[in-house]
Structure 1
Amino acid sequence: MRLNHQQGAAGEDAALHFLQAQGCKLLARNWHCPFGEIDLIVKSGNTILFVEVKYRKSKGFGGAAYSITPAKLAKLQRSVEHYLQQQHLTNTPCRLDAVLIEGDAAPHWLQNITG
């Protein structure tokens, strides 16, 4: 089932508010490049976090985490590399995270989803 734009934006809003409550500062939202889109780019301390947001109404069919496939991770990694090159950020600590939201449950923050 594909979510409409309004539901996706609401999920991103919830994820952003959650991350801001953890002390993160927004750098960019829905950043696009030739390789894809990064939902949220935030800064936590000195670390830039590239955040994939996944919302699902329920945990059925594997829940939100199920949709982060190896192919999706590869696209995200290429997008992150492109952002870092474009912004001339060579020695900046960064990582790729995910915020999963399922139904009315609190967001679940997965840090360093590439291992």
Structure 2
Amino acid sequence: MRAKDAIGAYGERVAGRWLEAEGLEVVERNWRCPDGELDLVARDGETLVFVEVKTRSSLAFGHPGEAVTRLKLARLRRLAARWLAEHDAHAREVRIDVVAVLRTRAGAARVEHLRGVG
């Protein structure tokens, strides 16, 4: 596994545990279709949450959340719509969140949950 992929997988594991500790139920991980991938899909009460996880090992290239651009948000909205259609899922509300994970050399990762970014 490439180092970048390993860091991404680490971040997705950390983010999933973080969301569950915050009371969300992770219902799907790494859902793929020809148009792309959703890192996590979760339920927050009656809200279905599509989660983009961004992980960095340092801040040298900026905060992990800064990597989610308008273009990326548009793609996430399309992927969320496709997931909903393919799963015949119904939710009172739908939300797109970002979980930013900063992997530290020592100690626990720093996690920031950005709700309703798109």
TM-score under structure 2 normalisation?
Answer: 0.87
User: Percent of aligned pairs with the same residue?
Assistant: 36
Q: How many residues align?
A: 113
C-alpha distance in 2 between matches for 1:85 and 1:76: 14
The aligned residue for residue 110 of structure 2 is 106
Q: Which runs of 4+ in 1 moved over 6 A?
A: none
Deviations 1:59-80 (A, max 9, x none): 2222202211111111111000
- Structure 1 residue 103 displacement after superposition: 2.9
The reply to whether residue 44 of structure 1 matches residue 48 of structure 2 is no
- Structure 1 residue 55 displacement after superposition: 0.4
The aligned residue for residue 19 of structure 1 is 19
TM-score under structure 1 normalisation?
Answer: 0.89
- Structure 1 residue 44 displacement after superposition: 1.2
Retained in 1: the 8 A contact 2:47–2:91? no
- Structure 1 residue 3 displacement after superposition: 4.9
- Structure 1 residue 112 displacement after superposition: 0.6
Any idea what SS the aligned residue of 1:42 has?
Answer: strand
> CA RMSD of the aligned region, Å?
1.7
Structure 1 residues 29-108: aligned runs within 5 Å: 29-90=29-90, 92-104=92-104, 105-108=109-112
Instruction: Give ranges in structure 2 of 5+ residues lacking alignment.
Output: none
